[in-house]
Amino acid sequence: MRYRALGSTGVSVSVIGFGASPFGNVFGDVPPKHDERIVREAVDAGINIFDVSPYYGLGLAEERLGAALGPWRDSVLLTTKAGRYDAENFDFSARTVTRSLDASLRRLQTDHVDLFQVYDIEFGSIDQILQETLPAAAELKHQGKTRFIGITSYWPDLLSRIATEFPVDTILSYCHANLFVGDMDRVLSGFAKKTATGLINASPLHMGLLGGGPVPLWHPAPPAVRAAAKDVNQLCRNQSVDPATLAIYLCLQHPVVATTFVGISTAEQVSAACAALEWQPDVELLNAVRARVDPVFNTVWPQGRPENADQSLAVQDASMRNGVSA
């Protein structure tokens, strides 16, 4: 395993982080009987940061992760979130965020988390997040219920805008630094480097499109992106390559990202993710994959309140006019 500093927090994290959303059956039913084995495999592989949220399975993922961590709790960094609780249930009020962390701590069977993140801020009022939500999170940090605080969003520009006005320890961007989208570097990477803010990347498999399983009905990617992902999966399998390994490998090459959260539901997926650390791509396969992705590269989708969207949404609009996302 390789490790990087998480901004100026003083801690180092494994470049591969354990995303526990599958423990909430987000991408399909995951039986709980192997939870402890999966966590043990991850810890033995050197993964030292585990990410979860009450949104994943309405608290189920937190309950399962808390039970599975057991003897390893004090040897890993544990992160959870607040603000989003269901597909259409958002509450960024100070009262709810404070109560949410208390409930998460009970489910996770711990007295504190290492990182508490305000989740999917693009769905909230930016004024409320700046004036109410983040101050509440800072108070929870002062109380010792979390060591660090952070924000997450689909939109990279929005993250830098908020963190400029209210400095945080970490920023998490998803679906903007992987095989399909690379616009996180337009603003966010430079901001994180300049301010020594810990930069976290999520969704290296583009929210499961390169995971090899069925695409959930709720997935927001347009049909052209889904079709390209299907072709990439087949190109990799034709060469006996796990598409997840290729996708994670590409994310691990980013020079600023401290850790990339990978959704994990089996011990085999731990191995596949860690294989990316030493994997060397076949040039012809990589060229073929990129040729298939190029027509839809940097295609994004509407997410959250329209006024919170980045200018990169124009990329999506242009692609749709050109028929890419139709």
Please indicate whether residue 56 is annotated as part of the active site. Answer: yes
Residue among 166, 145, 117, 131 at smallest CA distance from 6: 117
Residue of 3, 55, 56, 119 marked active site: 56
- ∠ Cα 252 150 108 (to 5°): 90
Residue ranges of E strands in 130-220: 146-153, 170-174, 198-202
C-alpha of 322 from chain center: 30
Distance CA 76, CA 103 (A): 20
How many degrees, rounded to 5, is the angle at CA 168 between CA 162 and CA 174?
Answer: 65
Token pair for 74: 């004090």
Cα–Cα distance between 259 and 90 in angstroms, integer? 26
User: Among all chains, which residue has been given the structure tokens 């949104």?
Assistant: 55
- Residues designated catalytic: 56
